[in-house]
Structure 1
Amino acid sequence: MSVEKYRKKPVVIEAVKLEDEYKSIVESIEFVYSIGMETSEWGMNSTVRSVKEDGGFSIETLEGNMFAKFGDYIIKGVQGEFYPCKPDIFEATYEKAAE
């Protein structure tokens, strides 16, 4: 067996950063679950409170459930899957794409 080198293919992904603030939590939940939380003010406030208390929220990924903590990026992968990514890994792997 010989070891070969490979380069990661350039792929544009969508991502949000989960931060400990109301707007960020709402946007992150809506991004992952494709829902408009503004339809229920009570539900939205309850969800935000729960995420704040837990320090993040669980995301079902292709590898099972993973927990996105405040400061993590949430990435939408090439197959439409979502997963959390630590900020240092994200910043070493991705750069902002031209719009």
Structure 2
Amino acid sequence: MHLTVAIISKACEKLRSQNKVCKEGIVFISANPFSNQRQYSQSYRVSIAEPGSDTRPWLSQLSAVLDSIYREDHRYKKAGFILVELSDPNNIQNDLLSAPQS
């Protein structure tokens, strides 16, 4: 779980440094493909309610996802988080039912 916090924090830090926001991401884990153990890899697409660069909404979504895809009996080689559909914070189309921003 500590690795997850570090990966998500770094991704959101990059979003903020580039003045971008994101609403969707892909989290993935994979075992060592060169090992003699059984192979395992899994990915999951995650979205948050509003596009942003804050770490907290991502962490709350990803903790449940990682619990479902993580298996104790594997030795993992790679884990990551890919941000999808980056956008400029000034060009976000709000939800029709959300309150107008001033």
- The TM-score with structure 2 as length reference comes to 0.27
Which protein, 1 or 2, shows the higher relative CO under an 8 Å CA cutoff with sep ≥ 6? 2
Structure number having the greater strand percentage? 2
